[in-house]
Structure 1
Amino acid sequence: MGLTAKIRTRDGWAVSHAVVTVTDMTGTQVLRAEADTDGAVHDTTTLTPGAYTVIVTAVGYAPTASSAIVTAAGRAEVGQVTLARQGGTELPPPGPWTIDPAHSSIGAVAQHLGISSVHGRFTDFAGRIEIASDDVATSRVEATISAASIDTGNGLRDGHLKSPDFLDVEKYPHITYRSTGVTPAGSDRWTVHGELTMHGVVRPVDLALAYLGTGADPWGGTRAAFRATVELRREDFAMNYNQVVQAGISAIGTTLKVELDIQAVQGESLPAV
């Protein structure tokens, strides 16, 4: 009996200080509960079957409201509630922003043997974001990744990924991305259009971008956070190596899921910390 919910940010973090309020159809509050350290709400209050409104609030986040049905067993399973950071409906203040590699990550996931995933990341990269002051659609981002910085936690595998079968880092030492435009895709989401150069091949690539908010840092600066995802096909970048194992299953999947968690500092350079 009661109510269960899980409160998360756009980038998947638990909102431990969230408050869930439930009102009936007359607007009368019938339940109030706080999320635990995992962002989970488990309240055992017995509710009368029917329709209710569930309101979730948290300091620093935009409130959200949704409908819920309490079953005959007195249970309401709200599921996951995603909160957007306040200010997320607009881009950060205009001007230059410098990507902070120490507080950012570029990860990639590939399927292995058709049953599991191999996770990797690039450890050496830099980038710059320019937020336009007049037309947001003309905002720009440029990033450069050292191809040789690929790290999957296995030296033998990393060596193979750096070889001509894949990234061919000696011939193509850098992976670059340059945006060509930005279009809104939701209240705090954007589509970044651009060109990705990898393995000597240039392809148009769109990033699904979530703006996570802006805030002050301990060193007197201002930081903005973003999360972006994209799925790439290896063959689009002339990386056609594969080994087929039993039942025709490829050892390595043909697609690559890329996840970017980016923190940028306002200004042309990073602070000395």
Structure 2
Amino acid sequence: MSTTKWAIDPTHSTVGFKVKHMMLTNVSGKFENYDANIVTEGDDFTKSNIEFSADINSIDTRNADRDNHLKSADFFDAENHPKMTFKASSLTKIDNENYEIAGDLSMRGVTKFVKLPAEFSGLMTDPWGNTKAGLNISGKVNRKDWGLNWNSALETGGVLVSEDVKLDIELQLVKQ
């Protein structure tokens, strides 16, 4: 069977996350610069090779001071570890829409195997004749597993930043 290469459509994709702040509300952020190498057998995403990377220096939480702190050695240490990467080992179909993506997530020089829920929205042809695919990846990871340990205790109990990071990744892919 022939292989198909896919590219991320950056105008219709977001690589985002949320973290609980002061145990009250979620702070949202995203990475502005990212890329992927995605190859499937035909159009079958369960038979795929997926490699993804995001530029840590492109983190955006709509607060420059917070972004700079996240880039610092307290968190991502962007100077020494400028990329976050994910290399999928499988994309398993659970039912018609739900999948599980598994693979190695690397940040700050640490690589951990993760399994994350994914939703595959299928294939569609846009008005200009391009074949598109939609993939939503969610789930959560514990940031301390990758050495992102900084925190501050609150006088009222609890901590300033949750250990759990909720992922919110929307990818619209274009067949090349």
Using structure 1 for the length normalisation, give the TM-score. 0.61
Cα deviation digits, residues 183-234 of structure 1 (max 9, x gap): 2212221111110111110010122111112222243311111111120101
Matched, 1:217 2:132: no
Match of 2:166 among 252, 257, 260: 257
Q: Does 1:168 align with 2:74?
A: no
Q: Classify 1:191/1:146 alpha carbon distance in 2 versus 1 (closer, same or farther; 3 Å).
A: same
Query: Within the alignment, does 1:120 sit opposite 2:36 as a pair?
Result: no
1:155 pairs with 2:55: no
Is contact 1:140–1:179 with CA below 8 Å preserved after alignment?
A: yes
Letter in 2 for 1:242: N
Q: CA deviation at 1:260?
A: 0.6
CA 1:245–1:130: 2 relative to 1, 3 Å: same
Q: Which residue of 2 aligns with 1:245?
A: 154
Paired residue type of 1:252:
V
Q: CA deviation at 1:109?
A: 0.2
**Please, which moves more after superposition, 228-237 or 134-143?**
134-143
Pick the structure with more strand per residue. Answer: 2
Structure 2 counterpart of 1:258, which letter? L
Under a length normalisation based on structure 2, what TM-score does the superposition of the two structures give? 0.93
Superposed CA RMSD in Å reads: 1.8
Alpha-carbon displacement from aligned partner over 1:20-79 (angstroms, at most 9, x marks no partner) = xxxxxxxxxxxxxxxxxxxxxxxxxxxxxxxxxxxxxxxxxxxxxxxxxxxxxxxxxxxx
Indicate if the aligned counterparts of 1:233 and 1:255 stay in contact, CA closer than 8 A.
Answer: yes
Residue equivalent to 2:139: 230
Q: 1:139 aligns with which of 48, 54, 74?
A: 48
In structure 1, give the amino acid aligned to 2:14: S
Higher relative contact order (CA 8 A, sep 6+): 2
Q: Is the 8 A contact 2:122 2:133 kept in 1?
A: yes
Consecutive unaligned residues of structure 2, counting only runs of 5 or more, are none
Structure 1 runs (4+) deviating above 3 angstroms are: 133-138
Alpha-carbon distance between aligned partners in 2 of 1:120 and 1:155, rounded to the nearest angstrom: 12
Once the two structures are TM-superposed, the CA of residue 125 in structure 1 deviates from its matched residue by: 0.5
SS at match of 1:235: helix
Identity %: 32
Structure 1 residue 136, shift from structure 2 partner:
5.8
Give the Cα–Cα distance (whole angstroms) in 2 for the partners of residues 99 and 183 of structure 1: 20
Mark the CA change 1:209 to 1:94 in structure 2 (over 3 Å): closer, same or farther: farther
TM-fit CA distance, 1:94? 5.8
Q: Verify: 1:187 aligned to 2:96, yes or no.
A: yes
